[in-house]
């Protein structure tokens, strides 16, 4: 599932904060990647309807589900009359599942000022990317780096996952895509417009000693080479697919959406965090499961208490054979996909 790494893990919050204050794997050779000519896929623009709604029902109670996606075309404006009319007839809107980090007051505001916030993005042993990455992978990185980082040498000392996050962000920008979650915000506005109660579905992760946790993270290896490798693969070979998938969501092409596999980059980077040595200390190792349980509990409670509700879910959890809707189906709910 898509979990916000910047929220779910202090190492990434620290890395992103510090950065803002400063300026499937391929078997092909690095040379073949560099010499290939790839024509960019054009993103859709203007007003688009997005996908239809999934219907979850049991005993006369109905939940309509909008599957969301990132990234999406930067120049696309989502507007769905079906969604607005459905929300207006609903008694509650379940927000997308998320994790909320609870720390001491003002900690994140002070984070960028801490020396540890700058050093946490570096490899704990002082190694460079060249020393950490397999030679072939590093060669691929060397060929990609000038397009996105120019001659910046500072990134060579940073953790692979931190470099991967920034590389992916810059690749999205170049492709006319955005990872902003404007769809959720638009749904919230529609709920407020029609005076429909919004129900947050948040798993609260309490970090009682964030400074100590940050120090622990600084000394911990993340085992994030797989995340870096999948990001290279995505940026080199999958940006066209990401654009086509984003276009399919925008135009409501469900059949095309089903044809795109889940982005392995997201999964690899999430696994790098939840399997890290500090994950159990921060409560991250079972975070996806806990968030799933929180959402299923909220959905069943809302369905039992209301004739109709509306929910927002990541598209992966809508379509995946082991996703949230599949779990509801296993519990006796009827799932109907849009036509």
Residue 77 main-chain phi, psi, to 5 deg: -115, 115
166 inside domain: yes
Asked whether 44 and 57 are in contact (CB, 8 A), the reply is no
242 inside domain: yes
Helix or strand holding residue 335 (H, E): strand 334-336
Edge-first strand listing for the sheet containing 54-58? 197-206, 92-102, 308-314, 61-68, 54-58, 334-336
Residue 166 preceded by cis peptide, ω within 30: no
Asked whether 227 and 272 are in contact (CB, 8 A), the reply is yes
Asked whether 50 and 78 are in contact (CB, 8 A), the reply is yes
Asked whether 112 and 18 are in contact (CB, 8 A), the reply is yes
260 inside domain: yes
How confident is the prediction along the chain (339 residues), in pLDDT tens digits per residue?
333 333 334 444 433 333 333 333 333 333 334 443 344 578 899 999 999 999 999 999 999 999 999 999 999 999 999 999 999 999 999 999 987 766 655 544 444 434 444 456 787 788 999 999 999 999 999 999 999 999 999 999 988 888 988 999 999 999 999 988 789 999 999 999 999 999 999 887 776 666 666 666 655 555 678 888 989 999 999 999 999 999 999 999 999 999 886 555 666 676 666 556 556 666 666 778 888 999 999 999 999 999 999 999 999 999 999 999 999 999 999 999 998
Q: How far is CA 11 from the centre of its chain?
A: 16
Give the CA count within 13 Å in the CB-facing half-sphere of 25: 13
273 inside domain: yes
How many domains is the chain built from?
A: 1
Sign of CA dihedral 122, 125, 128, 129: negative
Asked whether 220 and 277 are in contact (CB, 8 A), the reply is yes
Whole-number Å distance between alpha carbons of 268 and 246: 21
Q: How far is CA 16 from the centre of its chain?
A: 15
Whole-number Å distance between alpha carbons of 317 and 84: 22
43 inside domain: no
42 inside domain: no
**Residue 163: C-alpha distances to residues 135, 167, 172 (Å):** 17, 6, 14
Whole-number Å distance between alpha carbons of 149 and 144: 9
How many residues can be counted in the chain? 339
Which pLDDT value is given to residue 102?
Answer: 65
**Residue 249: C-alpha distances to residues 25, 39, 108, 245 (Å):** 25, 21, 34, 6
Angle at which helices 81-88 and 182-193 cross, to 10°: 40
Whole-number Å distance between alpha carbons of 11 and 81: 41
Whole-number Å distance between alpha carbons of 127 and 271: 22
29 inside domain: no
88 inside domain: yes
Asked whether 68 and 311 are in contact (CB, 8 A), the reply is no
Domain residue limits at 186: 5-23+52-336
Alpha helix stretches (DSSP H) within the chain? 5-8, 10-21, 30-35, 81-88, 107-111, 115-119, 129-132, 135-149, 160-174, 182-193, 210-218, 225-233, 239-251, 254-258, 264-274, 279-282, 287-305, 315-319, 324-330
Residue-by-residue DSSP string for 101-164? EE-STTHHHHHTTSHHHHHTTB-TT---HHHHS-HHHHHHHHHHHHHHHTT--GGGGB-HHHHH
């Amino acid at each position: 599932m898509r979990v916000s790494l910047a929220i779910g893990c202090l190492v990434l919050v620290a890395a992103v904060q510090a950065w803002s204050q400063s300026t499937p794997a391929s078997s092909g050779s690095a040379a073949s990647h560099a010499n290939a000519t790839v024509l960019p896929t054009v993103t859709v623009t203007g007003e688009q309807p997005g996908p239809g709604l999934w219907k979850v029902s049991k005993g006369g109670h109905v939940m309509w589900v909008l599957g969301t996606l990132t990234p999406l075309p930067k120049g696309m404006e989502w507007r769905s009359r079906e969604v607005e009319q459905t929300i207006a007839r609903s008694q509650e809107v379940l927000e997308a599942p998320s994790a909320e980090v609870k720390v001491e007051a003002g900690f994140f505001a002070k984070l960028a000022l801490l020396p540890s916030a700058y050093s946490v993005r570096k490899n704990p042993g002082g190694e460079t990317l060249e020393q950490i990455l397999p030679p072939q992978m590093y060669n691929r990185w060397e060929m990609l780096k000038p397009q996105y980082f120019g001659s910046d040498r500072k990134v060579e000392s940073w953790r692979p996952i931190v470099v991967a996050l920034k590389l992916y962000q810059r690749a999205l920008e170049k492709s006319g895509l955005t990872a902003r979650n404007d769809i959720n915000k638009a749904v919230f506005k529609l709920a407020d417009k029609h005076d429909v109660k919004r129900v947050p579905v948040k798993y609260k992760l309490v970090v009682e000693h964030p400074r100590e946790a940050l120090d622990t993270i600084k000394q911990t290896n993340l085992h994030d080479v797989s995340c870096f490798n999948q990001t290279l693969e995505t940026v080199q070979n999958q940006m066209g697919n990401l654009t086509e998938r984003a276009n399919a969501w925008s135009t409501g092409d469900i059949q095309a959406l089903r044809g795109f596999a889940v982005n392995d980059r997201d999964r690899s980077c999430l696994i790098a965090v939840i399997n890290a040595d500090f994950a159990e200390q921060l409560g991250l190792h079972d975070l996806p499961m806990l968030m799933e349980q929180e959402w299923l509990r909220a959905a069943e409670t809302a369905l039992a208490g209301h004739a109709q509700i509306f929910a927002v879910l990541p598209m992966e959890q809508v379509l995946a054979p082991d996703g949230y809707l599949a779990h509801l189906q296993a519990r006796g709910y009827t799932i109907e996909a849009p036509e």
